[in-house]
Amino acid sequence: MITQLTVHALVEQFRRGAATPSAAARAYLDRIAAVDPSVRAYITVTPERALAAAAAADARWRAGRPLSPIDGVPIAVKDLLCTKGVRTTCGSRILEHFVPPYDATVIERLEAAGTVLLGKTNMDEFAMGSSTEHSAFFATRNPWDLARVPGGSSGGSGAAVAADLAAAALGSDTGGSIRQPAAFTGTVGLKPTYGRVSRYGLVAFASSLDQIGPFAKDVIDAALVLRVIAGRDPLDSTSADVPAPDFVAELGRPIAGLRLGVPREYFVEGMDPEVEASVREAIEVLKRVGGRAEPISLPTTDYALAAYYLIAPAEASSNLARYDGVKYGSRVAGARDVIDMYSKTRARGFGPEVKRRIMLGTYALSAGYYAAYYGKAQKVRTLVRRDFDAAFARVDVIVAPTTPNLPFKHGEKEDPLAMYLNDVLTIPVNLAGLPGISVRCGFSLAGLPIGLQFIGRPFDEATLLRAAHAYEQATSWQTRRPPLP
Partner 1 sequence: MGGRIETREVEQVARLARLELSAEETQRMREQLDRILGYIDKLRRLDTEGVPPTSHAVPMVNVMREDEPRPCLPSQEMLANAPDRSGDFFRVPRIIED
Residue in 123, 118, 117 with CA at minimum distance from that of residue 89: 123
Position 270 contacts partner 1 (CB under 8 A)? no
Position 208 contacts partner 1 (CB under 8 A)? yes
| Closer residue to partner 1 in complex, CB, 98/267 | 98
| Closer residue to partner 1 in complex, CB, 61/350 | 350
In the list 197, 240, 296, 400, the residue contacting partner 1 (rule: CB under 8 A) is: 240
Position 356 contacts partner 1 (CB under 8 A)? yes
Position 44 contacts partner 1 (CB under 8 A)? no
Cα 378 from Cα 466, distance rounded (Å): 32
The catalytic position among 92, 130, 135, 153 is: 153
Do 424 and 268 meet the contact criterion of CB atoms below 8 Å apart? yes
Helix (H) or strand (E) holding 101: none
CA pseudo-torsion sign 150, 155, 156, 162 = negative
Strands 259-263 and 397-401: parallel
Do 218 and 331 meet the contact criterion of CB atoms below 8 Å apart? no
Position 330 contacts partner 1 (CB under 8 A)? yes
239 tagged catalytic: no
Strand-pair partners of 260:
293, 397
Cα 6 from Cα 8, distance rounded (Å): 5
Residue in 300, 303, 313, 266 with CA at minimum distance from that of residue 451: 266
How many CB atoms sit inside 10 A of residue 322's CB?
12
Within 418-437, the residues that bind partner 1 by CB under 8 A are: 420, 431-434
Position 341 contacts partner 1 (CB under 8 A)? yes
State the minimum distance, in angstroms, from the CB of residue 324 to partner 1. Answer: 7
Cα 161 from Cα 427, distance rounded (Å): 23
State the minimum distance, in angstroms, from the CB of residue 393 to partner 1. Answer: 18
| Closer residue to partner 1 in complex, CB, 6/88 | 88
In the list 344, 391, 443, 480, the residue contacting partner 1 (rule: CB under 8 A) is: 344
Position 286 contacts partner 1 (CB under 8 A)? no
Within 389-418, the residues that bind partner 1 by CB under 8 A are: 415-417
| Closer residue to partner 1 in complex, CB, 63/371 | 371
The catalytic position among 22, 78, 239, 438 is: 78
The backbone torsions φ and ψ at residue 438, rounded to the nearest 5 degrees and listed phi first, read: -115, 130
| Closer residue to partner 1 in complex, CB, 292/355 | 355
The catalytic position among 172, 177, 239, 317 is: 177
Cα 176 from Cα 183, distance rounded (Å): 10
Span of 183-191, 276-284, 343-351, 441-449 interacting with partner 1 by CB under 8 A: 343-351
Within 370-389, the residues that bind partner 1 by CB under 8 A are: 373, 375-383, 385
Give the up-direction half-sphere exposure of residue 67: CA atoms within 13 A in the CB hemisphere: 20
Instruction: Give catalytic residues, as residue numbers.
Output: 78, 153, 177
